[in-house]
Structure 1
Protein backbone atom coordinates (compact mmCIF):
# COMPACT_ATOMS: atom_id res chain seq x y z
CA UNK A 1 0.00 0.00 0.00
CA UNK A 2 1.24 3.47 -0.89
CA UNK A 3 0.57 6.42 1.39
CA UNK A 4 -0.21 10.02 0.46
CA UNK A 5 -0.30 12.34 3.47
CA UNK A 6 -2.01 15.56 2.40
CA UNK A 7 -0.60 17.69 5.23
CA UNK A 8 2.99 16.49 4.82
CA UNK A 9 3.19 15.72 1.10
CA UNK A 10 0.98 18.48 -0.30
CA UNK A 11 -0.06 21.35 2.00
CA UNK A 12 -1.07 21.98 5.60
CA UNK A 13 -3.56 24.53 4.25
CA UNK A 14 -5.29 23.05 1.18
CA UNK A 15 -7.70 25.57 -0.28
CA UNK A 16 -9.58 26.42 -3.45
CA UNK A 17 -10.69 24.65 -6.58
CA UNK A 18 -8.41 25.68 -9.46
CA UNK A 19 -4.70 26.24 -9.95
CA UNK A 20 -5.51 29.63 -11.42
CA UNK A 21 -6.64 31.80 -9.66
CA UNK A 22 -6.59 29.79 -6.37
CA UNK A 23 -2.89 28.85 -6.39
CA UNK A 24 -0.68 25.89 -5.62
CA UNK A 25 -2.76 24.62 -2.68
CA UNK A 26 -5.88 24.01 -4.80
CA UNK A 27 -7.82 20.83 -5.48
CA UNK A 28 -6.73 20.87 -9.12
CA UNK A 29 -3.04 20.99 -8.16
CA UNK A 30 -3.54 18.22 -5.60
CA UNK A 31 -5.35 15.99 -8.11
CA UNK A 32 -3.09 16.59 -11.10
CA UNK A 33 0.33 16.88 -9.42
CA UNK A 34 -0.01 14.55 -6.42
CA UNK A 35 -3.05 12.25 -6.50
CA UNK A 36 -2.99 11.11 -10.13
CA UNK A 37 0.77 10.40 -10.13
CA UNK A 38 0.37 8.40 -6.90
CA UNK A 39 -2.49 6.41 -8.44
CA UNK A 40 -0.53 5.84 -11.66
CA UNK A 41 2.35 4.38 -9.64
CA UNK A 42 0.18 1.71 -8.00
CA UNK A 43 0.78 -1.90 -8.89
CA UNK A 44 -2.15 -4.16 -9.77
CA UNK A 45 -4.43 -4.60 -6.74
CA UNK A 46 -2.35 -2.13 -4.70
CA UNK A 47 -4.23 0.60 -2.82
CA UNK A 48 -3.47 4.21 -2.03
CA UNK A 49 -4.01 5.30 1.57
CA UNK A 50 -4.71 9.02 1.84
CA UNK A 51 -4.19 10.53 5.29
CA UNK A 52 -6.40 13.58 5.65
CA UNK A 53 -5.89 14.74 9.25
CA UNK A 54 -2.12 15.01 9.77
CA UNK A 55 -1.07 18.69 9.98
CA UNK A 56 -4.32 19.88 8.32
CA UNK A 57 -6.96 21.82 10.25
CA UNK A 58 -9.83 21.70 7.74
CA UNK A 59 -10.89 21.49 4.09
CA UNK A 60 -13.17 23.59 1.95
CA UNK A 61 -15.77 21.94 -0.24
CA UNK A 62 -14.17 23.37 -3.40
CA UNK A 63 -10.88 21.63 -2.64
CA UNK A 64 -12.53 18.30 -1.82
CA UNK A 65 -14.81 18.36 -4.84
CA UNK A 66 -12.14 19.27 -7.37
CA UNK A 67 -9.38 17.22 -5.78
CA UNK A 68 -11.29 13.96 -5.41
CA UNK A 69 -14.52 14.03 -7.46
CA UNK A 70 -12.56 15.57 -10.33
CA UNK A 71 -10.98 12.14 -10.86
CA UNK A 72 -14.43 10.85 -11.83
CA UNK A 73 -15.81 13.98 -13.51
CA UNK A 74 -12.84 14.23 -15.89
CA UNK A 75 -12.79 10.50 -16.67
CA UNK A 76 -9.62 9.40 -14.88
CA UNK A 77 -11.48 6.68 -12.97
CA UNK A 78 -15.01 5.59 -12.11
CA UNK A 79 -16.41 6.05 -8.64
CA UNK A 80 -16.19 2.28 -8.15
CA UNK A 81 -12.49 2.35 -9.10
CA UNK A 82 -12.03 5.19 -6.61
CA UNK A 83 -13.48 3.07 -3.81
CA UNK A 84 -11.46 0.02 -4.87
CA UNK A 85 -8.12 1.86 -5.07
CA UNK A 86 -8.29 4.60 -2.42
CA UNK A 87 -8.67 4.42 1.35
CA UNK A 88 -9.27 7.70 3.19
CA UNK A 89 -7.72 7.55 6.67
CA UNK A 90 -7.82 9.77 9.73
CA UNK A 91 -7.22 9.45 13.48
CA UNK A 92 -9.01 12.62 14.62
CA UNK A 93 -12.75 11.87 14.68
CA UNK A 94 -13.51 15.43 13.54
CA UNK A 95 -12.25 14.40 10.10
CA UNK A 96 -14.98 11.80 9.62
CA UNK A 97 -17.03 14.69 8.24
CA UNK A 98 -14.45 15.34 5.49
CA UNK A 99 -14.23 11.66 4.58
CA UNK A 100 -18.02 11.55 4.22
CA UNK A 101 -17.95 14.68 2.04
CA UNK A 102 -15.26 13.15 -0.20
CA UNK A 103 -17.34 10.01 -0.63
CA UNK A 104 -20.48 12.07 -1.28
CA UNK A 105 -18.75 14.16 -3.97
CA UNK A 106 -17.19 11.12 -5.64
CA UNK A 107 -20.45 9.16 -5.64
CA UNK A 108 -22.41 12.08 -7.10
CA UNK A 109 -19.86 12.85 -9.85
CA UNK A 110 -20.79 11.77 -13.36
CA UNK A 111 -18.02 9.76 -15.01
CA UNK A 112 -16.25 11.58 -17.85
CA UNK A 113 -18.95 14.27 -17.90
CA UNK A 114 -16.59 17.14 -18.59
CA UNK A 115 -13.34 17.52 -20.54
CA UNK A 116 -10.41 18.52 -18.37
CA UNK A 117 -8.96 21.88 -19.37
CA UNK A 118 -5.98 22.85 -17.18
CA UNK A 119 -6.24 26.28 -15.59
CA UNK A 120 -2.50 27.00 -15.73
CA UNK A 121 -1.88 30.64 -16.49
Structure 2
Protein backbone atom coordinates (compact mmCIF):
# COMPACT_ATOMS: atom_id res chain seq x y z
CA UNK A 1 0.00 0.00 0.00
CA UNK A 2 1.46 3.34 -1.04
CA UNK A 3 0.97 6.36 1.17
CA UNK A 4 1.90 10.04 0.98
CA UNK A 5 2.58 11.99 4.16
CA UNK A 6 2.79 15.76 3.94
CA UNK A 7 4.46 17.07 7.06
CA UNK A 8 2.61 20.39 6.65
CA UNK A 9 -0.80 18.76 6.17
CA UNK A 10 -0.49 15.69 8.38
CA UNK A 11 1.72 16.93 11.23
CA UNK A 12 2.55 20.65 11.49
CA UNK A 13 3.63 23.70 9.55
CA UNK A 14 6.10 24.49 12.36
CA UNK A 15 8.41 21.49 12.88
CA UNK A 16 10.06 21.64 16.26
CA UNK A 17 13.08 20.20 18.07
CA UNK A 18 14.68 16.76 18.05
CA UNK A 19 13.00 15.26 21.13
CA UNK A 20 9.44 15.42 22.43
CA UNK A 21 10.77 16.49 25.85
CA UNK A 22 12.26 19.61 24.22
CA UNK A 23 9.02 20.97 22.79
CA UNK A 24 6.03 20.39 20.55
CA UNK A 25 6.06 18.90 17.07
CA UNK A 26 9.41 17.17 17.49
CA UNK A 27 11.16 14.93 15.00
CA UNK A 28 10.92 12.11 17.55
CA UNK A 29 7.14 12.43 17.81
CA UNK A 30 6.72 12.63 14.04
CA UNK A 31 8.83 9.50 13.58
CA UNK A 32 7.15 7.51 16.35
CA UNK A 33 3.52 8.47 15.77
CA UNK A 34 3.35 8.83 11.98
CA UNK A 35 6.42 7.85 10.00
CA UNK A 36 7.49 4.56 11.64
CA UNK A 37 3.96 3.17 11.54
CA UNK A 38 3.48 4.11 7.90
CA UNK A 39 6.89 2.69 6.98
CA UNK A 40 6.17 -0.60 8.74
CA UNK A 41 2.86 -0.88 6.87
CA UNK A 42 4.65 -0.18 3.58
CA UNK A 43 7.27 -2.83 4.29
CA UNK A 44 4.59 -5.37 5.17
CA UNK A 45 2.49 -4.62 2.09
CA UNK A 46 5.31 -3.97 -0.37
CA UNK A 47 4.33 -0.34 -0.77
CA UNK A 48 6.14 2.99 -0.59
CA UNK A 49 5.77 5.90 1.82
CA UNK A 50 6.46 9.29 0.29
CA UNK A 51 7.14 12.11 2.75
CA UNK A 52 6.63 15.59 1.32
CA UNK A 53 8.67 18.28 3.07
CA UNK A 54 7.16 21.38 1.44
CA UNK A 55 4.97 24.13 2.91
CA UNK A 56 6.40 24.38 6.43
CA UNK A 57 8.12 27.34 8.09
CA UNK A 58 11.46 25.51 8.01
CA UNK A 59 13.40 22.59 9.47
CA UNK A 60 16.11 22.35 12.05
CA UNK A 61 18.73 19.72 11.36
CA UNK A 62 17.84 18.03 14.65
CA UNK A 63 14.23 17.47 13.53
CA UNK A 64 15.33 15.89 10.26
CA UNK A 65 18.05 13.77 11.83
CA UNK A 66 15.77 12.37 14.52
CA UNK A 67 12.81 11.80 12.22
CA UNK A 68 14.75 10.11 9.41
CA UNK A 69 18.13 9.00 10.79
CA UNK A 70 16.27 7.88 13.90
CA UNK A 71 14.54 5.18 11.84
CA UNK A 72 17.84 3.29 11.82
CA UNK A 73 18.18 3.58 15.59
CA UNK A 74 14.60 2.33 15.93
CA UNK A 75 15.59 -0.88 14.18
CA UNK A 76 14.59 -0.34 10.57
CA UNK A 77 16.99 -1.88 8.09
CA UNK A 78 18.65 0.61 5.74
CA UNK A 79 17.82 -1.54 2.69
CA UNK A 80 14.14 -1.63 3.69
CA UNK A 81 14.12 2.14 4.08
CA UNK A 82 15.67 2.56 0.63
CA UNK A 83 12.99 0.34 -0.92
CA UNK A 84 9.98 1.69 0.95
CA UNK A 85 10.60 5.37 1.78
CA UNK A 86 10.92 8.43 -0.44
CA UNK A 87 11.61 11.87 1.01
CA UNK A 88 10.74 14.55 -1.53
CA UNK A 89 10.42 18.28 -1.96
CA UNK A 90 8.34 19.71 -4.75
CA UNK A 91 9.75 23.23 -4.43
CA UNK A 92 13.35 24.41 -4.68
CA UNK A 93 13.24 25.82 -1.16
CA UNK A 94 13.02 22.34 0.39
CA UNK A 95 15.20 20.33 -2.03
CA UNK A 96 18.20 20.70 0.27
CA UNK A 97 16.17 19.34 3.18
CA UNK A 98 15.16 16.25 1.20
CA UNK A 99 18.82 15.54 0.40
CA UNK A 100 19.78 16.17 4.02
CA UNK A 101 17.13 13.75 5.32
CA UNK A 102 18.46 11.07 2.97
CA UNK A 103 22.01 11.75 4.14
CA UNK A 104 20.92 11.30 7.75
CA UNK A 105 19.45 7.91 6.86
CA UNK A 106 22.65 6.94 5.05
CA UNK A 107 24.92 8.05 7.91
CA UNK A 108 22.90 6.91 10.93
CA UNK A 109 24.50 4.21 13.04
CA UNK A 110 22.24 1.47 14.39
CA UNK A 111 22.18 1.00 18.13
CA UNK A 112 24.10 -2.10 19.08
CA UNK A 113 23.12 -4.17 22.10
CA UNK A 114 26.02 -5.35 24.20
TM-score (normalised: structure 1) = 0.84
Report the RMSD for the aligned CA atoms in angstroms. Answer: 1.5
Structure 1 consecutive aligned stretches of length 4 or more whose deviation exceeds 6 Å: none
Which string of whole-angstrom CA distances, capped at 9 and with x for unpartnered residues, describes residues 26-62 of structure 1? 0010000111121233243200011110x21311001
Alpha carbons 1:74, 1:113 under 8 Å: kept: no
Instruction: Please name the residue that 2:91 is paired with.
Output: 92
**Number of residue pairs matched by the alignment:** 111
1:52 corresponding residue in structure 2? 53
Question: Aligned residue for 2:22?
Answer: 21
Q: Which runs of 5+ in 2 are unaligned?
A: none
Q: Which runs of 5+ in 1 are unaligned?
A: 115-121
- Match in the other structure for 1:11: 12
Give the TM-score of the pair, scaled to structure 2.
0.88
| Structure-1 residue corresponding to 2:70 | 70
Question: Would you tell me which structure has more helix in proportion to its own residues?
Answer: 2
